[in-house]
Structure 1
Amino acid sequence: MIDLNEVYVFVKVVEAGSFVGASKQLAMPSTTVSRKIQKLEDTLGVRLLQRSTRKLHLTDIGRHYFENCQQSLVAIEEANALVSQSRAMPTGVLRITSPTDFAINYLQSWVNDFLALYPDVQIELEVTDRYVDIIEERIDIAFRSGELKDSSLIARRIGPKQSVFCASPDYIARAGKPKTPPDLTQHDCIIMGTSLKNQTWRFITEKDEISVPVTGRYAVDSMQLVVKAAHNGMGIAQVPYPLVIQSLEKGELIRLLTDYSPPIQSIYIIYPSHKHLARNVRVFIDHVVALTQPHAPWDAKL
């Protein structure tokens, strides 16, 4: 079997014009260079070089062999360069999924900056509040909050998710303010989801955690529409604090149950595996981490 290292040494010897010149380029003793050429000739069963005290001469078969091998090595070096360039500069299509409100408020600006930095990358962004199976649907990166269902995925925390309870002044004037979590059972609650059935809201107190069953007349699987419904006086909503900061400051919504808070969750950037991670995926993850650490832009203090 031909040793490709010996072929490489042979090409370098011919290009340098001597064993000594090749040994300097290859950073190996000239005796090693000579031995590799001899082993290559023995394997091939032909003489490639005529040696003399002054210079080297290629045999006819040696010349043909050199020309073919040199072209092949150049092709390999070009292929290696392409791989290195692809690792240095991300390319290709990056498929991302994100909840609607997160994409509108944060992710869109990150995508704008990323595409400006890397012109050879294309992004396909699926904005949805449904659960997306990123393996089944060939998603490279997902943004999610809460508990991770699939332990085979890599989840990197990029910030907290803080929620508040709120309602419009019109609703409060009509139905009153709940003073404790159990009071919610007497109120219309706006449900984030596709069903009004079997809904509970969780609360953290100084001593423990409690769960309260809630009901209402409206369920919708879009947090943006939950917020709009709260503005329209349809009930009490549990929503991420950053989405309603301005509304609370303007008095368009009133914060409720301030002595109680839902558990603080986390927001994650999720991807299938650390191993063999495509360059565009790795660079985008680093891009997001740089923008969210040490403090995420939505990490507002209540």
Structure 2
Amino acid sequence: MVNSKLIALLPDLATFILITDEGSFTAAAKKLNVTPSALSKLVTRLEKALVTKLFDRTTRKLVITPTGKHVYDQAIIMVSAANQAWEASTTAHTSATGSLTIAAPEAFLNSVLQPFVVPFLKKYPQIQLKLRVADGEIDLFKEGIDVAFKLTDKPDENLVLKEIGRTDLVLCASPEYLSQRSIPSHPTELIDHDCLYLAETEHDNIWSFFAEDQYHTVSVSGKYAVNHSQMRLQGVKDGLGIGIFHDFVIAEAVEQNLVIPVLSDWTIKSNYHGSIAMQYPQTKYMPARLRVFIDFISEELGNVFNKFNSQS
């Protein structure tokens, strides 16, 4: 239930934000086309209602109090929500303009999403696109993310889910490396090979494999580890060992016979494989810039993964 006393304070809180931002009654009064004395009385009224002092006032300047700063921060949230409500009410009548922040794992961003950035921006020149690498867990609301791409079988249940495709992890090595060191026929044989892994955490060199009712965990080692998919792939191409990749990262290299998949009969367990999920907050009134991005990427990536999966 809405507090009736709070409703009466909302306009004063919004004005309080402006006064704080402008730093004086005079400057804020010019913006609102009112007198400085009127704003002084408004602050006095607001302080009385909140039972707290918002400003330390001198003849020269206003200094916000610690409590006033806390009230200001909360009022900003209120105004932000009001702005969203205003934007929602006009969404159907606005063009695709404004800023979008997109988060995705490095490998997906580089290998899959990046080629569509320029075509999208050319089609929608009034949109500013911000891309952010996010390989771990991410809070869309806290970090201001509009859309997040996740490679997982456990998408966030609090977000809208749109599945783009599916990805699995693949082991591969160069033909030269395999000719010199032999092709492993079982996961446990990886112990005798040079392996390239992420080296982001202390457990990144522990690889888990499934095949029917069999399960094996192997601690691998090697002379080179890097948490960048293209650099790791280049290392594999150069014969440094066996690497683990998402299938879409190595698809072209496999087609060109630059790398060869190994242990293909085994499924590799990881937190970053499964459905390619595009997720975004639930909203009844979606901004046009977000709607066109979702539609554009859904179509383009749908075509990519339909083609990719048909070839797999």
| Length-normalised TM-score, structure 1 | 0.62
Contact preservation (8 Å) 1:204, 1:261: yes
1:209-224 aligned at under 5 Å gives the runs: 210-217=215-222, 218-224=224-230
1:168 paired residue among 169, 174, 182: 174
Contact preservation (8 Å) 1:200, 1:211: no
Distance 1:144 1:216 in 2: 28
**Deviation digits for residues 58-96 of structure 1, max 9, x if unmatched?**
xxxxxxxxxxxxxxxxxxxxx99965421xx22210111
Matched, 1:293 2:298: no
**Deviation digits for residues 24-61 of structure 1, max 9, x if unmatched?**
xxxxxxxxxxxxxxxxxxxxxxxxxxxxxxxxxxxxxx
Matched, 1:104 2:110: yes
**Which structure's residues are more often helix, by fraction?**
2
Q: 1:224 to 1:198 in 2, by over 3 A?
A: closer
Q: 1:176 to 1:249 in 2, by over 3 A?
A: same
Contact preservation (8 Å) 1:95, 1:140: yes
Q: CA deviation at 1:121?
A: 1.6
Query: Unpaired segments of 5 or more residues in structure 1?
Result: 1-78
Q: CA deviation at 1:140?
A: 0.6
Q: 1:82 to 1:136 in 2, by over 3 A?
A: closer
SS at match of 2:140: coil
Contact preservation (8 Å) 2:198, 2:205: no
Match of 2:123 in 1: 117
Distance 2:294 2:187 in 1: 39
Q: 1:178 to 1:147 in 2, by over 3 A?
A: same
2:186 paired residue among 176, 180, 205: 180
Q: CA deviation at 1:161?
A: 0.6
| Length-normalised TM-score, structure 2 | 0.61
**Deviation digits for residues 242-287 of structure 1, max 9, x if unmatched?**
3223333443322211332436611111212244433322221122
| Counterpart residue identity of residue 235, structure 2 | A
Query: Unpaired segments of 5 or more residues in structure 2?
Result: 1-86
Larger Rg: 1
Match of 1:85 in 2: 93
Identity, in percent, stands at: 29
Q: 1:259 to 1:152 in 2, by over 3 A?
A: same
Contact preservation (8 Å) 1:146, 1:265: yes
1:266 paired residue among 275, 282, 287: 275
**Number of corresponding residues:** 221
CA RMSD of aligned residues (A): 3.0
1:238-249 aligned at under 5 Å gives the runs: 238-249=244-255
Contact preservation (8 Å) 1:242, 1:300: no
Distance 2:146 2:287 in 1: 9
Distance 1:177 1:80 in 2: 58
Match of 1:278 in 2: 287
Q: CA deviation at 1:234?
A: 2.3
Contact preservation (8 Å) 2:112, 2:248: no
